[in-house]
DNA sequence: ATTAACTGCATCACTGCTGTTGCGCTTCGT
DNA sequence: ACGAAGCGCAACAGCAGTGATGCAGTTAAT
């Protein structure tokens, strides 16, 4: 609705948008209350340029959220959630998502209003996530009586905790720990 | 150091401090950037009174963090982490902490500087938490090879996710789910 | 090569939050 | 009952962030 007449930007303008969004993620992740001045400085751009590309602070944050949500959705799709064997898909999706969420933590935390593009994409991600869990359950990897919505939320929480504590570990190792913990917990191994 | 000459407050002043801290938690949890004006209004107090009791916004937030950290430490202690059977202690501590963290979410998220009272209390809570996990491991409830620091972090993440999604469920039911998920994950039950 | 778009810079107005002070009234402590 | 401590209210100064504008110089697209 809002960007109906979005005529194409010139190459340098498009580059400005990109560097501003990247800088905004870095700066706002460190301090959510940081000023647009700081964002502009981190982007190597004048503050007025930020205002030229994004009508308001809110518009910038929304664009940031949408951008990150697209990357996240792509990361999930790349794991073939509908066709790959569940365990393979879970591992691959987890490794992908860890990288995207690590690089776009602030953007993905912004709760977009339910009508926005970011919220749509997030719902789609949730849907695909549950799909994988259902397929895992059908294969006996997850208890038949388990509440899949709770399992999904636990999965998200494990991702978040991994990123909080292990900012730059090997994605495959971290993903293996997440999946293992999700499926088997901390209890004794037979 | 800072509050060396803290002569006792009059009863009404102490009451002001209490209602301001409670209001600050409510208001700042809803919007971390809210003004002291809003906090004062929610507390039913004039803005100048807030400034009288807390020299600056930062001082208010620190006092809030310390206050909440004390409650959290008490909640853990109440579960007898050193003496009760591990599973009993885990359940009781979880139920207690769910209530405290639910009521003081914002305050407990404030990362105090390492020298403050809040940080000391948080470290003490971490320590007692690991103690319980060690006792659980010694009883065979947790795998002998498990990384207890990771287990503790998973435990915290499960608490956080529970509070995010189930704001006001029965603490005992929610605690049971947290402990069960922590120890056994989502996999099939024998 | 020409034009339209873009950027940086300087400047301005506006807003909202913070922190302080002074004064009169009320409430607590003893 | 008395005095000290606390409160609400009003007013003020200061500051930072936001958003807008005009202009001169640069860059991309045809």
Top pLDDT among A188 and A66 is at: A66
Does residue A19 fall inside a structural domain?
yes
Secondary structure element (H or E) that encloses residue A59, with its range: helix A57-77
pLDDT of residue A64: 97
Number of domains forming the structure of chain B: 2
Among the residues of A78-184, which ranges form H helices? 86-103, 105-109, 117-138, 148-165, 171-184
pLDDT of residue A168: 85
Is A68 in the same domain as A157?
A: yes
Per-residue pLDDT reduced to its tens digit, A137-160: 999 999 999 999 999 999 999 999
Is B38 in the same domain as B68?
A: no
Question: Is pLDDT of B4 > 60?
Answer: no
| Cβ atoms B81, B72 nearer than 8 A | no
* Burial class of A7 by CB neighbour count within 10 A (0 to 12, 13 to 18, 19+): exposed
Is B93 in the same domain as B125?
A: yes
Does residue A166 fall inside a structural domain?
yes
What's the Cα-to-Cα distance from A179 to each of A39, A186, B169, rounded to whole Å?
Answer: 36, 12, 27
- Which residues of chain B approach chain A closer than 8 Å at the C-beta? 32-33, 140-146, 150-151, 153-154, 156-158, 160-161, 164-165, 177, 181-189
pLDDT of residue B101: 97
The tokens for B139 are 């009883």
pLDDT of residue B54: 97
Does residue B59 fall inside a structural domain?
no
* CATH number of the CATH domain containing B5: 1.10.10
* CATH number of the CATH domain containing B133: 1.10.357.10
d(CA B137, CA A118): 43
Tell me how many degrees the CA angle A167-A168-A172 measures, rounded to the nearest 5: 115
Q: Which of B134, B153, B131 is nearest to B81 (CA)?
A: B131
Nucleotide nearest to B36 (CA to C1'): C17
Question: Is pLDDT of B1 > 50?
Answer: no
Is B22 in the same domain as B47?
A: yes
Q: What's the gap between Cα A173 and its chain centre?
A: 19
Is B49 in the same domain as B68?
A: no
ipTM of the complex: 0.89
Is A88 in the same domain as A149?
A: yes
Quick check: B161 and A153 CB within 8 A? yes
- Strand C and chain A: which residues 99-138 have CB closer than 7 Å? none
Does residue A134 fall inside a structural domain?
yes
**Cβ of residue A14 lies below 7 Å from strand C:** no
pLDDT of residue B6: 65
pLDDT of residue A113: 84
CA of A37 to C1' of C13 (A): 18
Nearest residue to nucleotide D29, by CA–C1' distance, is: A10
Quick check: B187 and A141 CB within 8 A? yes
Tell me how many degrees the CA angle B164-B167-B172 measures, rounded to the nearest 5: 110
Q: Reduce the DSSP state of residue B45 to 3 states and report it.
A: coil
Question: Is pLDDT of B125 > 80?
Answer: yes
Top pLDDT among B88 and A189 is at: B88
The mean pLDDT of B44-57, rounded to a whole number, is 98
Q: What's the gap between Cα B134 and its chain centre?
A: 21
Percentage of residues in chain A with pLDDT exceeding 70? 97
Q: Which of B32, B54, B76 is the last residue of a domain?
A: B54
Nucleotides on chain C within 7 angstroms of protein Cβ: 5-11, 16-22, 27-29
Nearest to A143 among B145, B156, B186 (CB): B186
pLDDT of residue A105: 97
The tokens for A126 are 């949730």
Question: Is pLDDT of A96 > 80?
Answer: yes
Nearest to B183 among A160, A183, A185 (CB): A185
Per-residue pLDDT reduced to its tens digit, A4-49: 566 789 999 999 999 999 999 999 999 999 999 999 999 999 999 9
For CA atoms A50, A56, A58, A62, the dihedral sign is negative
pLDDT of residue A188: 84
Is A87 in the same domain as A133?
A: yes
Q: Which of B54, B82, B98 is the last residue of a domain?
A: B54
Q: Which of A95, A132, A93 is nearest to B186 (CA)?
A: A132
pLDDT of residue A7: 74
What's the Cα-to-Cα distance from A98 to each of A66, B29, B56, B159, B175, rounded to whole Å?
Answer: 18, 27, 38, 21, 28
Does residue A171 fall inside a structural domain?
yes
- Which residues of chain A approach chain B closer than 8 Å at the C-beta? 32-33, 140-146, 150-151, 153-154, 156-158, 160-161, 164-165, 177, 181-189
Contacts with A33 from chain B: Cβ below 8 Å:
33
Contacts with B158 from chain A: Cβ below 8 Å:
154, 157
* CB contact set of B145 (below 8 Å; sequence gap of 6+): A189
Does residue B189 fall inside a structural domain?
no
Kindly provide the b/e burial profile for residues A94-105, where b requires at least 16 CB atoms within 10 angstroms of the residue's own CB.
bbbbbebbbbbb
Is A46 in the same domain as A111?
A: no
Confidence of residue B183 (pLDDT cuts 50, 70, 90): very high
d(CA A117, CA A179): 29
CA of B135 to C1' of C16 (A): 53
Nucleotide nearest to B8 (CA to C1'): D5
Does residue A10 fall inside a structural domain?
yes
Is B39 in the same domain as B70?
A: no
Is B26 in the same domain as B78?
A: no
* Burial class of A54 by CB neighbour count within 10 A (0 to 12, 13 to 18, 19+): buried
Rg (C-alpha) for chain A, rounded Å, is 19
Smallest CA–CA distance, residue B4 to chain A, in Å, is 32
Nearest residue to nucleotide C10, by CA–C1' distance, is: A48
Is A111 in the same domain as A89?
A: yes
Per-residue pLDDT reduced to its tens digit, B72-115: 999 999 999 999 999 999 999 999 999 999 999 999 999 878 88
The residue range of the domain holding B25 is 1-54
Question: Is pLDDT of A112 > 90?
Answer: no
Question: Is pLDDT of B167 > 90?
Answer: no
Per-residue pLDDT reduced to its tens digit, B106-124: 999 998 788 889 999 999 9
| Cβ atoms A75, A100 nearer than 8 A | yes
**Could you tell me the maximum CA-CA distance found in chain A, to the nearest angstrom?**
63
Is A43 in the same domain as A95?
A: no
* CB contact set of A60 (below 8 Å; sequence gap of 6+): A20, A21, A24, A36, A39, A50, A54
Among the residues of chain B, which ranges form H helices? 11-30, 36-43, 47-53, 57-77, 86-103, 105-109, 117-138, 148-165, 171-184
* CB contact set of B146 (below 8 Å; sequence gap of 6+): A186, B137
Nearest residue to nucleotide C29, by CA–C1' distance, is: B10
Helix pair B171-184, B148-165: axis angle to 10 deg:
140
Nucleotide nearest to B55 (CA to C1'): C19
């Amino acid at each position: 609705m809002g960007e109906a007449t979005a005529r194409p930007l010139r190459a340098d303008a498009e580059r400005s948008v990109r560097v501003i969004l990247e800088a905004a993620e870095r700066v706002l992740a460190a301090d959510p209350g940081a000023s647009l001045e700081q964002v502009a400085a981190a982007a190597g751009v004048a503050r007025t340029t930020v205002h030229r590309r994004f009508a308001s602070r809110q518009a910038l944050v929304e664009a940031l959220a949408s951008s990150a949500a697209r990357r996240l959705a792509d990361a999930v799709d790349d794991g073939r959630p509908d066709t790959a064997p569940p365990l393979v898909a879970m591992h691959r999706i987890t490794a992908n998502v860890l990288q995207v969420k690590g690089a776009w933590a602030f953007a993905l935390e912004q709760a977009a209003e339910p009508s926005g593009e970011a919220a749509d994409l997030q719902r789609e991600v949730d849907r695909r996530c549950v799909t994988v869990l259902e397929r895992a359950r059908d294969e006996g990897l997850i208890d038949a009586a388990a509440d899949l919505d709770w399992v999904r939320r636990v999965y998200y929480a494990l991702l978040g905790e991994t990123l909080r504590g292990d900012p730059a570990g090997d994605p495959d190792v971290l993903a293996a720990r997440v999946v293992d913990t999700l499926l088997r917990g901390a209890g004794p191994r037979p």
